[in-house]
A and B are shown apart, each in its own frame.
Chain A
């Protein structure tokens, strides 16, 4: 459990008082009432001394210039090139104590702690987190690869990432764990005016994990956010993502890829809300559901009144690979302004028989053809990962999950 600096104490007490009455988030089409998000094990963190634990070794490449490995809340390995001087990268604990003024203006603003029961739970039992602050005009040419490992205790992590005006950052985060656990991740992202953030997140949780992920971003005028999420866990996951375009000219592209297998349930909601004119949002959800899994994609494009000249696009497609698998692609466009454009596509289906026939007619076996089609289906996401080791891992995990 994190030490709470004095300035946080009043907020803490308030949330603690509100907590009992708060409700679970609503995961449209998935019943999460009985998911145990709240049995937390908060002791016994595993401690590593300045090395990359074996469990994360495959995600780290010798050639990587910027790597941070966090295990059960502590930074156990850090390698940063000169590209990152002037950039504040520190544990949240440290940030709350030593960068109070900076943190105060952002912490809890993008995801208010009392948003729902699980965000409150996250705040009240916070035991891990990173604060990354890129100063104004700082353009960072090499990506930052961060790996979070959960090993000894439940992971309640909150990341706060701020890219100031006209800055640029490419950020990749991987979550790794290998046993049953409760995982609760809240990420607050702020993309300043004219700033550019490429954010790639991948989770690969064990099949006995119950995970809640809440990622919210605010993009200011002319800022651009590219968010890519690889939901490759084997456990049950509720993932809520909200991007608020708060300044004119802001844009966001959110790509999610999910593979649900065996008996797992994954519920992924992505919402882009337009709170300024001339903003553009694009949501792309591609998923695969097999065995008896349930995969649900909820896509929401919301244009508020007066936000003319905005464009809300979304596309959700899920491929079903077996009889008992289930998939939902629920598109929603909530438009309160006439002078805008919006579109959506949603489709759930088996692998296209015509495509299979076409590929097989060139000599590919059925398996090879299916594999090629699935690979092509997931390509939009693969391309976004600009780190070779992570990209290779992504492809590996997909192959493993598809072949099983």
Chain B
């Protein structure tokens, strides 16, 4: 099978009319693990959301293709079925739907009409992965992310990734909210998925995750663009010196994408416990 290729070219994207991505270029192939590093406010999460098709982000220019198919033309669910996966920074909670049922439904939609997920096989694989991620056994039967701690939610994202087996996975700040042990477990899980058929883009907040994952390519994002790319040695240098040397090299003073604060109007939702009501 040919290696998957996710190609992002001159991508520009805005939210609420404000441009965040200012021409991102990146190519991720099966078998490769890429990391995007950079200080806060530089557009990293926006990149992940724009690729996956979050409704609030508007792509204004550029292209994203997966195996030469136009991703931007696809609906969110089509992108997922085409092989993309996004482990979110803030996973939603959906009450009333169990983790197991949800996973099974998601796996089922990838099959043809009439094909069914064999239940026993599914349960065995699920249990195996739950235990690999050292998650609580009962978790699959709880409602989707409901009442999960931050760390549990992140691990649930990885669990989903392991079960759904995407061709290209984007992990958006999977490391924030994880303690040392959880970090190691997640790192091992990502390493175990390494294969010619799997490409991964790690958007990191802290460098520590990269201690556990063998990263092939490192990119630095500033002001909504990738300003520098390289190998592991970049990580080590940033660890020692921070980002200033890069800013100097590229001629940037402030690495953030400047977004003006809107004045927020105070809204009153009204009062619910009033003295008048007592006099009914």
Task: Please list the residues of chain A having a beta carbon within 8 angstroms of any beta carbon in chain B.
Answer: 331-336, 344, 346, 352-355, 357-366, 368-369, 372-373, 375-380
Contact = CB atoms under 8 A, between A and B. Distances in A.
Given A363-B164, A373-B94, A376-B95, A368 B55 contact: no
A356 B80 CA distance: 13
B97 A360 contact: no
B11 interface: no
Chain B contact residues, majority secondary structure: mixed
B72 interface: no
B256 to A, nearest CB: 24
A352 B109 CA distance: 22
B109 A364 contact: yes
B94 A360 contact: no
B96 A360 contact: no
A334 B273 CA distance: 8
Contact of A361 (B86, B93, B97, B105): B86
B55 A375 contact: no
Contacts of B106: 362-364
B1 interface: no
Interface in B229-280: 272-273, 277-278, 280
Given A332-B277, A336-B278, A368 B105 contact: yes
B92 A354 contact: yes
B102 interface: yes
Interface string B80-114: 11000110100111111100001001100110000
Contacts of B52: 361
19 contacts: A332-B277, A333-B272, A334-B280, A344-B272, A357-B76, A358-B88, A358-B92, A359-B94, A361-B76, A361-B77, A362-B80, A363-B80, A363-B109, A366-B77, A368-B109, A372-B94, A372-B97, A377-B95, A378-B96
Contacts of B42: none
B236 to A, nearest CB: 34
Contacts of B88: 358, 361
Nearest to A373: B94
Contacts of B76: 357, 360-361
B63 interface: no
Contact of A365 (B77, B93, B96, B273): B77
A358 B77 contact: no
A331 B81 CA distance: 43
B105 A372 contact: yes
B122 interface: no
Given A361-B76, A365-B77, 4 more contacts: A333-B272, A335-B273, A362-B160, A376-B96
Nearest to A332: B277
B54 interface: yes
Interface string B137-170: 0000001100000000000000010001000000
